[in-house]
Amino acid sequence: MSSYLKNQKGFTLIEILVVVIIVAILAAFAVPRYMRYVEKSRSTEAQTALRAIRNAYDIRLQNYGTTDDYTIEDAMLEARLGKGTETNWDFEVVGNPPKKYIATSTADFAAGEGKQVWYDEDEAAYHGYGVDEWTDIDTGGKE
């Protein structure tokens, strides 16, 4: 083999190029999967908070038969959300009785402002950021 293709440690440029290509291919698969894992993990905080808020509304409805004059602030107080959760998310309830519970990320949220996670009573399911919506790492937008 020609001496100009070998570096001082004995690896050829072709061997180094093959290793770099293999690492790039592995990264192309690993990074999006990791980003989805991170988003799913971050959305868990909102889902847990929404579940606690839903429970507060359910208790109010069972005890009083209505959620009239019951605010999201009342529900958040009864749900005993942590300061970190209240810093990361703004909460909203739609309908009376509630049909949709929404958490929207604030500027303090690690992934940025405006991410939404919501619970739909009719579907009995969570939706949104980290649940069924993922950030497209190539464009920064949604898939």
> What does the alpha-carbon distance between residue 143 and residue 62 come to, in Å, rounded to a whole number?
40
Q: Is 36 part of a structural domain of the chain?
A: yes
Question: What pLDDT score does 49 carry?
Answer: 97
Q: Give pTM, 2 decimals.
A: 0.74
Q: Is 27 part of a structural domain of the chain?
A: yes
Q: Is 35 part of a structural domain of the chain?
A: yes
At residue 140, does pLDDT exceed 80? no
Could you read off the pLDDT of 83-137 as tens digits, one per residue? 999 999 999 999 988 999 999 999 999 989 999 999 999 999 999 999 987 676 5
Domain count for the chain, please give it: 1
Q: Is 52 part of a structural domain of the chain?
A: yes
Residue-range definition of the domain harbouring residue 34: 13-128
Q: Is 113 part of a structural domain of the chain?
A: yes
Sheet with strand 116-120: strands edge to edge = 89-94, 100-105, 116-120, 125-128
Could you read off the pLDDT of 44-91 as tens digits, one per residue? 999 999 999 999 999 999 999 999 999 999 999 999 999 999 999 999
